[in-house]
Amino acid sequence: MTKALEGKLALVTGASKGIGAATALAFAEAGAHVVLTARDVRALEAVEDRIHEAGGASTIAPIDLAESDGIARLASAIAGRWDKLDYLVISAAYLPTLSPVTQIDGKQFSQAVTTNLLATQALLSNFDPLLKRADAARVIGLTSSVGETPRAYWSAYGATKAAFDNLLDAYAQEVEKISKVRVATIDPGATRTAMRAKAYPGEDPATVKPPEDVAKRLVDLVITDFQTRHRERID
């Protein structure tokens, strides 16, 4: 099989499970060396084992995106080993308990803001130099429909995703004329993940698509390429 992404370096956040893990596997299968990051070391090791068993290449980098200096340390470590970053896939996200606006749990809301928004800014800031050194770097951020269209009881998550979308789009505009970095915001749609099960506990998982379908589309997207500020929903 042709390795369309051979020689490329990809960083995938939230790579220990769900869409992030599936994306890491798919990028590695396409030939990229994948840096997997998440908090769960054992889960990351399990994903890495699957990549290596399939003949792929990867490196695990366990960090908590909520740590103030974790992302900076990760960027420094990657820059010490590689001279560029071709793909940044921002998959990690935190879903607070669904509730009315007036009953949002402050601690959970703070964690969502940190994971979904502040960490995204830190990723873009710290990896911008490495992205600009690549021939054609691509940033893909995974969003949610509730960030674009407010929905009752989803405000704590939706507000952070609305800000996430705004941040990515602003970054895309800022680097468009001065670099070859392009940015896409992707709504994976209903997907069989632990986050989905948390939000829809009564749903039959078999009725929604597996994360591998989303991962395949993301790989196809970078192979066929896209215009910056691209946005789509995967149905």
Opening angle at CA 179, ends 80 and 187, nearest 5: 90
Q: In angstroms, rounded to a whole number, what is the distance separating the alpha carbons of residues 35 and 62?
A: 10
Q: Which helix (DSSP H) or strand (DSSP E) does residue 185 occupy?
A: strand 182-187
Are the C-beta atoms of 116 and 123 separated by less than 8 Å? no
Catalytic position from the list 87, 94, 157, 171: 157
Biggest alpha carbon distance in the chain? 54
Q: In angstroms, rounded to a whole number, what is the distance separating the alpha carbons of residues 65 and 164?
A: 15
Buried b (16+ CB within 10 A) or exposed e, 70-94: bbeebbeebbeebebbbbbbbbbbb
Catalytic residue status for 157:
yes
Catalytic residues: 157
